[in-house]
Every structure is written in C-alpha cells, then in structure tokens.
Amino acid sequence: MNSGMSLIVKTVTRLVAGFITLFGIYIVLYGHVSPGGGFAGGAILAAGLILVLLAFGREATLRMMSHDGALAWDCGGALAFVLIAALGYLAGGFFVNFLSHGEPGQLNSAGMIPLLNAAIGAKVGAGLFGVFLALAVFRPGRHREDPS
C-alpha cells in the first residue's frame, strides 16, 4: 500500500497515536480537577486521528472513523450534553447538578460535570476531525461556466 507518508512517519505514528488518544481521554476525564476539560481533550483526540490521516492517508483512516461515524459522534455528543443538562429537571431545574458532589479534588467528584466534559470531548473530537475530513475529501473543481 503506497498511500500516506514514508515508513518512518508511519512507524512513529503507530507508536504515538495511541498515547495521544490516551492523553486526550485523560484530559477529558480530569477536566473538573485539573486544567483541561472537554474542549481541550476533544481537540487532542481529534489531533490523534488527524495524525493517522496524514500518515496513512484517507482510506486507512476512514476504516477507523468514517464520515458518518464522525457526524454521529458529533451530534450524539451534543445531544448527550443537552440531555444531561435537562436531566437536572429531575432535581428541580435545568442544569441542576443533582449527582453526588464527592470529595473535592478526587476523580469521582463534581457530580455531572465529568459527564458533561465527556459529552463535549466526544463532540469536539469528532467535530474537528469531521471538519478536517471534509477539507481532505474536498477537491477544488472548476465551475461549470468557467471557460478556462
């Protein structure tokens, strides 16, 4: 298979892509206790996928995450955010944080904020990747009426 970049790039990508994804998930999950959060972590997740796209080319990447898959994760993440926020109505109102707040500083704390972070992470990761995919798939074509 000749698509994508050189063997060196592919090998390095194979080594680091997993770690980048893992780091993205870490940033998302620790968003409520340390700097970072859904948007930052999602951007890192998208960066991991974009690295694979650059190194291995479009075909290989689309097998991991198709355009429809990106759209589904994107809309699903946003929908999950709205629904989690609306779940607050169970406890009295929109965005009411009704889950156990736990011990401050621990991973299991802050009620539904980590869930919201995860939803944002999915949305931003898939959304940014979808934008990049659209740019990679798009081929500038000549306009029909263009005489040149």
Partner 1 sequence: MTTWLPLFVILPLAAGFLTPLAGRRPGESGGAARGLALLVGAVLLAGSIALLGSEPAVYWIGGWPGADRPSVGLSLVCDGLTQMLLVTVNAIAFCALLYSWSYIQRYTGRALYYCLFLLMLAGMNAVVLAGDLFNVFVFMEVAVICSYALVAFGVERAELEAAFKYVVLGSVSSLFVLLGIALIYNLTGQLNMALVAERLGALGTERGPAVWLAAGCFIMGFGLKAAMVPFHAWLPDAHPSAPAPISAMLSGVVIKAVGVYVVCRILFNVFGLNTPAGALYANVLIVLGTLSMVIGVFLAIGQWDFKRLLAYHSISQMGYVFLAVGVGAAVLATDGPRPIAALAIFGGLFHLVNHATFKSLLFLCSGSAEYAAGTRDLHELGGLKYTMPTTAGCCRVAALSIAGVPPFNGFWSKLIIVVATAMAGYWILAALAAFVSFMTLLSFLKVQRYALEGPPPERIRAIHETPVPMRLAMIGLATACVLLGVLVPLHRARLIDPATRTLTEPRLYVERFRPPDQPHMGTTWAAAVKELQP
Interacting residues toward partner 1 by CB under 8 A: 68, 71-72, 75-76, 78-79, 82-83, 85-86, 88, 92-97, 143, 145
Map tokens 């759209």 to a residue. Answer: 71
Which token pair is 65? 């995450």
Tell me if 24 sits within 8 A of 128, measured CB to CB: no
Cβ 131 to partner 1 shortest distance, Å: 13
Measured from the CB atom, is 57 or 111 closer to partner 1? Answer: 111
* Closest listed residue to residue 61, CA positions, set 8, 10, 118, 122: 10
Nearer to partner 1, 83 or 107 (CB): 83
Nearest of 23, 28, 85, 20 to residue 53 by alpha carbon: 20
Tell me the CA distances in angstroms from 48 to 16, 20, 23, 65, 87, one per residue in order. Answer: 9, 6, 10, 12, 32
Return the number of the residue (54 or 72) whose C-beta is nearest partner 1. 72
CB of 83 to partner 1, least distance (A): 7
Q: How far is the CB of 140 from partner 1 (least distance, A)?
A: 13
Q: Is the dihedral of CA 35, 39, 43, 46 positive or negative?
A: positive
- Least spacing, CB of residue 8 vs partner 1, in Å: 38
Nearer to partner 1, 3 or 66 (CB): 66
